[in-house]
């Protein structure tokens, strides 16, 4: 296959991904851009039917009064992230969430649950000092994505569905991004899409773990592309495990899917196999401690249990009244019922499950990256959450920064008169990378993916050690080397899912290596990263974040000091001290 086989397509603004960040960016770009600006939305699956935002259950964090403030939300975010967040990003997230929730209601048309007096109902989520999580029952993400999807499908935005991004293609001098190499999954043909501005909003998806919440097609593709493009990635050791993933057996994909945090916020109890409630042995907040603390508590109880037939622990809701549970948590009750469990009247077995990725591309508060023309929002962007994301901050982060990205790109391209020419050498490298398995003897990819998932769970999981992570690195290399010898049937590339399984696993291997090396570089325990050989958290005032880069063919990890731009450890940001705004002029 040659460069001449690659089809060409031009646009002004290209958005990769159709989760909360991508859809909001498309709508904001359309509103802010000059007349005649061409906006293209490309997605690996179908618009509104894939991605992680749709899977959000719990809700959307926003300070709407009643004793709550933006400053209080900000402090919860900083303290929950163990003083590693980029404070300017965290502030803007908390401040703009107030704007965005009104936009979701009044302009997008979302209906959220309300109190009897008509105000938005806000429920309790772990690690927060106020009940600030706006929701639509326990199916909030579906409400948000359905309404956004309706707006985007009715707009003039160009849609490129079932198009997989496989490479960021810079200009010949490397100073800017020229476009993105994609595969049209419907035909198997390659397409180079040139654009003046590209938003990467492909989401995270730590599906390299045995237990995980995202769908299997979420495979860290965006971060793998960014790594190869030379961009710095921060906090890559920070993989959030949601404490309560459904444990339904290896025969079903329902295993690992989340039983939402609102269950514990409402009073749900975690019970071990001895019938004892155990979380107060690990934290004085019990089940309402932050996700990292509860996950480690569950994992510790699992290690105490010697019965291999009972791997997890149990969540119990029946003491709250079965009828009340069925009314408040309809989605969760149905999810459990579909797998043969009665959440309202009995206990359900759960296990920590890889859920969210705090690490990502280093960006500024306007989503710009170090590569001109490339913007990143949502789970692909690092910084806002530090070492631990508060439940309810994820969808807020995506929609807030998706909107910011759309506005910023629309403003930035006004000074760009023409599209940039791609570096054909890089284009050829990315093409060769994608077609690598087409010239080899076909073999199954799934066993290798399961091997990676087992070793990441065992060696680079909830609790880590130097020896374990070194063993993990060796295992990742073995999987990666074996993958390079595996081929796929190239007789028909249209909807060739085995080919895409191969590409998925290569992205997962690349990012698994980065996660592990960043974990080895952090010799303390912060938030989601816990090392039993370095259990101390270190001094908060000396906080550093990890920065990973690809130099040649080697991943290197360095550390940089956190900039306490708004508040220092031991201090509290009060309204009188808070910035009026961090909304920059774009």
Residues in the chain: 586
Higher pLDDT, 64 or 260: 64
Whether residue 581 is predicted with pLDDT greater than 70 in this model: the reply is no
| DSSP element (H, E) containing 122 | strand 122-123
Q: Which residues of 137-174 are buried (b: 16+ CB within 10 A; e: fewer)?
A: bbbbbbbbbebbbebbeebebbbbbbbbbbbbbbbeee
Higher pLDDT, 58 or 271: 271
Higher pLDDT, 68 or 265: 68
Minimum mean pLDDT among 109-118, 247-256, 462-471, 530-539: which range?
Answer: 247-256
* Average pLDDT for the chain: 94
Q: CA–CA separation, 439 vs 495, rounded Å?
A: 18
| DSSP states of 218-272 | ---HHHHHHHHTT--EE-TT-EEEEEEEE---TT-TTTT-B--THHHHTT-EEE-
Whether residue 576 is predicted with pLDDT greater than 90 in this model: the reply is no
Q: CA–CA separation, 426 vs 169, rounded Å?
A: 6
Query: Predicted confidence band at 586 (pLDDT cuts at 50, 70, 90)?
Result: very low
pLDDT of residue 54: 79
pLDDT of residue 309: 59
SS3 453: helix
Q: Cα 93 vs. chain centroid, distance in angstroms?
A: 15
Q: Which residues lie closer than 8 Å to 404 by C-beta, 6 or more apart? A: 28, 92, 96, 365, 366, 367, 377
Please report, for the chain, the start and end positions of each structural domain, with discontinuous segments joined by +: 244-355, 439-539
Residues 488-507: what's their mean pLDDT? 96
pLDDT of residue 307: 59
Q: Residue 98, class by beta-carbon neighbours within 10 Å (0-12 exposed, 13-18 middle, 19+ buried)?
A: middle
Q: With both helix axes pointing from N to C terminus, report the angle between 87-103 and 70-80 in degrees, rounded to the nearest 10.
A: 130
Whether residue 583 is predicted with pLDDT greater than 60 in this model: the reply is no
Q: With both helix axes pointing from N to C terminus, report the angle between 446-459 and 466-483 in degrees, rounded to the nearest 10.
A: 170
Q: Residue 221, class by beta-carbon neighbours within 10 Å (0-12 exposed, 13-18 middle, 19+ buried)?
A: buried
Residue at token pair 């690092």: 382
Q: With both helix axes pointing from N to C terminus, report the angle between 20-32 and 393-412 in degrees, rounded to the nearest 10.
A: 30
Contact 453, 210 (CB under 8 A): yes
SS3 160: strand
Q: In this predicted model, what pLDDT tens digit does every residue of 149-171 receive, in sequence order?
A: 999 999 999 999 999 999 999 99
Class assignment of domain 244-355?
Answer: alpha beta
pLDDT of residue 308: 54
Query: Predicted confidence band at 465 (pLDDT cuts at 50, 70, 90)?
Result: very high
User: Residue 347: what are its φ and ψ, rounded to 5°?
Assistant: -95, 155
pLDDT of residue 331: 86
Q: In this predicted model, what pLDDT tens digit does every residue of 381-403 receive, in sequence order?
A: 999 999 999 989 999 999 999 99
Whether residue 358 is predicted with pLDDT greater than 90 in this model: the reply is yes
Q: Which residues lie closer than 8 Å to 21 by C-beta, 6 or more apart? A: 53, 199, 201, 203, 377, 378, 379, 398, 399, 401, 402, 405
Q: Which residues of 54-71 are buried (b: 16+ CB within 10 A; e: fewer)?
A: bbbbbbbbbbbeeebbbb
Contact 385, 358 (CB under 8 A): yes
Annotated active-site residue 264? The verdict is yes
Q: What is the DSSP letter of 164?
A: E
Share of the chain above pLDDT 70, in %: 98
pLDDT of residue 585: 33
Contact 179, 194 (CB under 8 A): yes
Of 242, 355, 389, 531, which is the active-site residue? 242
* E runs forming strands in 44-102: 60-61
Specify which residues 9 forms β-bridges with: 193
pLDDT of residue 48: 86
From the candidate CATH numbers 3.40.50.1110, 3.30.70.120, 1.20.58.100, 3.30.70.1560, the one assigned to the domain spanning 439-539: 1.20.58.100
Q: How many CB atoms lie within 10 A of CB 8?
A: 10
Q: Which residues lie closer than 8 Å to 420 by C-beta, 6 or more apart? A: 171, 176, 177, 178, 179, 194, 196, 373
User: Residue 365: what are its φ and ψ, rounded to 5°?
Assistant: -70, -5
Q: Which residues of 384-417 are buried (b: 16+ CB within 10 A; e: fewer)?
A: bbbbbbbbbbbbbbbbbbbbbbbbbbbbbbeeee
pLDDT of residue 584: 39
Whether residue 131 is predicted with pLDDT greater than 80 in this model: the reply is yes
Q: What is the DSSP letter of 130?
A: S
SS3 51: coil
Of 163, 264, 326, 335, which is the active-site residue? 264
Q: CA–CA separation, 265 vs 160, rounded Å?
A: 40
Q: How big, in percent rounded to 5, are the helix, strand and coil portions of the chain?
A: 35, 20, 45
| DSSP element (H, E) containing 450 | helix 446-459
Q: Which of 169, 149, 167 is nearest to 159 (CA)?
A: 149
Q: Which residues of 324-337 are buried (b: 16+ CB within 10 A; e: fewer)?
A: ebbebbebbbebbe
Residues 251-266: what's their mean pLDDT? 86
Pairing of strands 544-551, 233-234: antiparallel
Contact 13, 197 (CB under 8 A): yes
Share of the chain above pLDDT 90, in %: 84
Q: Which residues lie closer than 8 Å to 400 by C-beta, 6 or more apart? A: 92, 93, 96, 97, 100
């Amino acid at each position: 296959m040659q460069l001449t086989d690659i089809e060409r397509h031009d646009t002004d603004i290209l958005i990769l991904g159709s989760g909360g960040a991508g859809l909001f960016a498309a709508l904001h770009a359309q509103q802010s851009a000059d007349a005649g600006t061409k906006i293209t939305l490309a997605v690996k699956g179908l618009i509104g039917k894939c991605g992680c935002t749709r899977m959000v259950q719990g809700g959307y964090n926003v300070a709407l009064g009643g004793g709550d403030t933006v400053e209080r939300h900000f402090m919860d975010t900083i303290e929950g992230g163990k003083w590693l967040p980029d404070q300017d990003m965290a502030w803007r997230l908390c401040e703009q969430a107030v704007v965005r929730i009104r936009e979701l209601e009044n302009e997008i048309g979302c209906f959220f649950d309300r109190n009897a007096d008509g105000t938005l109902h806000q429920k309790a989520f772990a690690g927060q000092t106020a009940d600030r999580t706006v929701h639509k029952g326990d199916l909030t993400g579906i409400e948000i994505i359905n309404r956004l999807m309706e707006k985007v499908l009715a707009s003039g935005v160009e849609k490129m569905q079932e198009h997989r991004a496989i490479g960021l293609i810079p200009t010949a001098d490397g100073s800017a991004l020229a476009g993105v190499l994609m595969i049209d999954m419907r035909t198997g043909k390659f397409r180079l899409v040139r654009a003046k501005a590209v938003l990467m909003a492909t989401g995270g998806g730590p599906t390299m773990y045995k237990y995980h919440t995202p769908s299997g097609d979420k495979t860290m593709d965006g971060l793998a592309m960014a790594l190869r493009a030379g961009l710095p990635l921060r906090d890559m050791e920070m993989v959030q495990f949601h404490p309560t993933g459904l444990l339904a057996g290896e025969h079903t994909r329902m295993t690992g899917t989340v039983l939402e945090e609102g269950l514990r916020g409402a009073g749900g109890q975690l019970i071990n196999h001895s019938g004892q409630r155990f979380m107060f042995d690990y934290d004085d907040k019990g089940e309402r401690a932050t996700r990292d603390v509860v996950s480690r508590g569950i994992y510790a109880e699992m290690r105490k249990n010697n019965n291999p037939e009972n791997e997890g622990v149990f969540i119990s809701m029946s003491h709250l009244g079965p009828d009340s549970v069925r009314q408040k948590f309809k989605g969760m009750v149905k999810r459990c019922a579909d797998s043969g469990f009665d959440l309202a009247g009995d206990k359900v077995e759960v296990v920590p499950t890889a859920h969210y990725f705090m690490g990502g591309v280093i960006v500024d508060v306007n989503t710009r990256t170090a590569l001109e023309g490339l913007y990143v929002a949502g789970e692909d962007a690092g910084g806002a959450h530090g070492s631990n994301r508060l439940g309810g901050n994820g969808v807020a982060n995506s929609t807030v920064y998706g909107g910011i990205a759309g506005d910023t790109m629309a403003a930035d391209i006004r000074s760009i008169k023409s599209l940039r020419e791609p570096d054909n050498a890089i284009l050829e490298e990315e093409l060769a990378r994608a077609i690598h398995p087409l010239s080899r003897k076909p073999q199954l990819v799934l066993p290798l993916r399961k091997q990676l998932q087992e070793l990441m769970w065992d060696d680079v999981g909830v609790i880590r050690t130097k020896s374990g992570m070194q063993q993990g690195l060796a295992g990742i290399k073995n999987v990666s080397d074996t993958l390079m010898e595996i081929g796929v049937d190239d007789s028909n590339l249209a909807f060739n899912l085995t080919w895409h399984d191969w590409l998925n696993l290569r992205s997962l291997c690349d990012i698994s290596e980065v996660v592990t090396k960043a974990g080895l570089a952090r010799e303390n325990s912060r938030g989601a990263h816990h090392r039993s050989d370095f259990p101390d958290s270190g001094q908060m005032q000396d906080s550093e974040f990890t920065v990973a880069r690809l130099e040649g063919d080697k991943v290197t990890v360095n550390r940089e000091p956190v900039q306490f731009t708004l508040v220092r450890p031991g201090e509290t940001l009060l309204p009188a001290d808070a910035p009026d705004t961090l909304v920059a002029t774009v």
